[in-house]
Amino acid sequence: MQKKKVTFELEIYNSQEELSVLDRELMQAAVLARENAYAPYSGFKVGAAVLLANGEIVIGNNQENASYPSGLCAERVAVFQAGARFPGIAVKTIAISVNSVRRVVDTPAAPCGNCRQAIAEYEQRQTEGIEILMMGSTGEVYKSASITDLLPLAFGKSYLD
């Protein structure tokens, strides 16, 4: 039996002030998007901002629904909006910021499984990595160079060919 080890890398910054100017600007867009999230049931607000290869920034936030499966996460709102408004333009970076109305969230939250799969589809299609920045409302910022760090065995179109 041949064993293979799967590892991933994650950069950790003490705060968003340590990010590059562009990454800080993108995170601020995610923070602003987070404030307009519709989360009356969970109280957990998420904002996402997508930087495209053409320099455009597209935002999204979570949209809850009383019938929980009908809501949509911030990451998919932003990525799908980017794909609809700017088809064929590569996604470079996605910034994600989370907070709760019940407490201060000082730990970054990674995208859920559905969002990871949706981001992986974009990354596979454009054949280049998408950086992921993750932050709570305060504290450290995590940065991954590719969604494959967060979803190493992603399902893709190659399985359907």
Instruction: Render pLDDT for 76-111 as a digit per residue (tens, 0 to 9).
Output: 999 999 999 999 999 999 999 999 999 999 999 999
67 among the known binding-site residues?
yes
Known catalytic residue: 75?
yes
99 among the known binding-site residues?
no
For 59, the domain range is 13-141
User: Quick check: is 103 in a domain?
Assistant: yes
User: Quick check: is 147 in a domain?
Assistant: no
Catalytic residue among 75, 123, 128, 131: 75
The answer on pLDDT for 1 being more than 90 is: no
Instruction: Render pLDDT for 55-82 as a digit per residue (tens, 0 to 9).
Output: 999 999 999 999 988 899 999 999 999 9
User: Quick check: is 65 in a domain?
Assistant: yes
Domain count across the chain? 1
User: Quick check: is 91 in a domain?
Assistant: yes
Tell me how far apart the alpha carbons of residues 86 and 83 are, in angstroms, rounded to a whole number: 5
User: Quick check: is 149 in a domain?
Assistant: no
CATH of the domain at 34: 3.40.140.10
112 among the known binding-site residues?
yes
Residue 12 pLDDT class (50, 70, 90 cuts):
very high
Q: Is 61 exposed, middle or buried (0-12, 13-18, 19+ CB in 10 A)?
A: buried
Global pTM value: 0.93
What average pLDDT is seen over the chain?
94
Do residues 58 and 82 lie in contact, with contact meaning Cβ atoms separated by under 8 Å? yes
User: Quick check: is 111 in a domain?
Assistant: yes
Tell me how far apart the alpha carbons of residues 126 and 75 are, in angstroms, rounded to a whole number: 17
Q: How many CB atoms lie within 10 A of CB 2?
A: 3
Do residues 50 and 57 lie in contact, with contact meaning Cβ atoms separated by under 8 Å? yes
At 84 the three-state DSSP class reads helix
Q: DSSP code of 90? A: P
User: Quick check: is 77 in a domain?
Assistant: yes
Q: What is the pLDDT at residue 154?
A: 86
Tell me how far apart the alpha carbons of residues 103 and 64 are, in angstroms, rounded to a whole number: 19
